[in-house]
């Protein structure tokens, strides 16, 4: 039986340049989708999947992340005194749903280096690696959380598992594209990954997104992975090396995925999740109908 996955690493040290100027002073992970920051959706999914400790890798200017997952006793006191029970429960939940540990990436040396910064906290254990701007809504319609889906595949094979989607052809040059041997409708053994290939050179339509479950051997590989593009250490290069020494799988997960580092996807996440909220759904639908009618007029 493989070692149970109990820890998750979220690299959140990037500058969020795709969403400037909004991210000049506010971490992209703290931008709200309806009424919760993006990173809270990711941490909630990890907690719902049985993760007990989340390690968030930050950099200078990311203090808001630490404050969000900390207790704010003055705010809690005022909400309690005002009888705002639902809001009180919401802010306490953010700080208590799972243990959150913060590690600083001292230099911008790449996403692989950011993951490596968590090595001493993770130790010699498998862990979930989750991007800080990519989350999956698993409640509409209800499905198992994406991290739990990946963990089930890990427990079956005792090997690393990449979250994957079937990407449209026009997006193949935006993702790490996977060459594979198919096992079943959703499970694949990974032969190689090509990062953002020209569309005509993509090995398949299977794209790696969202995150993955990684065995602890990835840390030693990262420590010996040389910098490449931008003089940075890339996690995908380390995963490619891992594939040469042990099996790695990919799994096409269920759920609605949002890449909130993308402007359109960020807007889509806000609209679709708001439509899933009973108190917002009807007025928002009515507004959208009026909006569409105005454009069609």
Averaged pLDDT score across all residues of the chain:
93
pLDDT at position 12 is 92
pLDDT one-digit tens code per residue, 87-98: 999 999 999 999
Strand, coil or helix: what is 233? coil
191-226 confidence digits (pLDDT tens): 999 999 999 999 999 999 999 999 999 999 999 999
In this predicted structure, the answer to whether residue 281 has a pLDDT above a threshold of 80 is: yes
Q: Where residue 231 falls among pLDDT bands split at 50, 70, 90?
A: confident
Which pLDDT belongs to residue 14? 84
Q: What is the pLDDT of residues 52-66, one digit of tens each?
A: 999 999 998 899 999
Q: Is the pLDDT of residue 1 over 80?
A: no
Asked if CATH classification 3.90.45.10 holds for the domain at 7-261, the reply, yes or no, is: no
- Please report the pLDDT score of residue 294 as a whole number: 79
Q: In whole angstroms, what is the distance from residue 293 CA to residue 295 CA? A: 5
263 confidence band (pLDDT: 50, 70, 90): very high
Nearest to 235 by CA among 116, 136, 123: 116
Confidence of residue 28 (pLDDT cuts 50, 70, 90): very high
- pLDDT tens for 100-144 read 999 999 988 999 999 999 999 999 999 999 999 999 998 877 889
What stretches of 28-134 show up as alpha helix (H) in DSSP? 38-48, 63-68, 73-81, 85-96, 111-116, 119-122
Q: Model confidence at 19, in pLDDT bands (50, 70, 90)?
A: confident
Give the pLDDT band (50/70/90) at residue 159. very high
Residue 296 has pLDDT above 80, yes or no: no
Whether residue 21 is preceded by a cis peptide bond, meaning omega within 30 degrees of 0, is yes
Mean pLDDT over 41-61 rounds to 95
Give me the pLDDT at residue 297, please: 53
Bridging pattern class, strands 256-259 and 160-166 = unpaired
Please compute the mean of the pLDDT values over residues 11-37 and round it to a whole number.
90
> With 70 as the cut, is the pLDDT of residue 248 above it?
yes
Instruction: Give the pTM.
Output: 0.93
pLDDT of residue 293: 86
Residue whose tokens read 């029970």: 85
DSSP 244: T
Helix, strand, or coil (residue 206): strand
Those residues whose C-beta lies under 8 Å from the C-beta of residue 281, and which sit 6 or more positions away, are 274, 275
The confidence score (pLDDT) of residue 184 equals 94
CA dihedral 171, 173, 178, 182 (to 10 degrees): 40
């Amino acid at each position: 039986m493989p070692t149970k996955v109990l820890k998750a690493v979220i690299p959140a040290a990037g500058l969020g340049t795709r969403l400037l100027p909004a991210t000049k002073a506010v971490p992209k992970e703290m931008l709200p989708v309806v009424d919760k920051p993006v990173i809270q959706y990711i941490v909630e999914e990890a907690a719902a999947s049985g993760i007990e400790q989340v390690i968030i890798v930050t950099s200078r200017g990311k203090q808001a992340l630490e404050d969000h997952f900390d207790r704010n006793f003055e705010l809690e006191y005022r909400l309690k005194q005002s009888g705002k029970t639902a809001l009180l429960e919401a802010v306490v939940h953010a700080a208590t749903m799972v243990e959150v540990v913060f590690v600083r990436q001292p230099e911008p040396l790449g996403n692989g280096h950011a993951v490596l910064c968590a090595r001493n906290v993770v130790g010699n254990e498998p862990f979930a690696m989750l991007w800080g701007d990519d989350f999956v809504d698993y409640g509409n319609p209800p499905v198992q959380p994406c991290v739990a889906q990946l963990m089930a595949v890990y427990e079956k094979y005792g090997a690393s598992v990449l979250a994957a989607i079937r990407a449209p052809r026009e997006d193949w040059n935006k993702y790490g594209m996977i060459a594979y041997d198919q096992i079943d409708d959703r499970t694949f053994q990974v032969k190689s990954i090509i990062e953002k290939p020209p569309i005509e050179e993509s090995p398949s339509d299977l794209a790696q997104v969202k995150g993955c479950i990684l065995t602890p051997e990835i840390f030693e590989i990262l420590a010996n992975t040389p910098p490449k593009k931008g003089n940075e250490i890339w996690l995908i290069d380390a995963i490619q090396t891992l594939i040469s020494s042990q099996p790695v799988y990919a799994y096409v997960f269920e759920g609605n995925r949002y890449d909130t580092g993308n402007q359109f996807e960020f807007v889509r996440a806000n609209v679709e999740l708001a439509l899933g909220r009973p108190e917002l759904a009807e007025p928002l639908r009515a507004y959208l109908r009026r909006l569409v009618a105005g454009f069609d007029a």
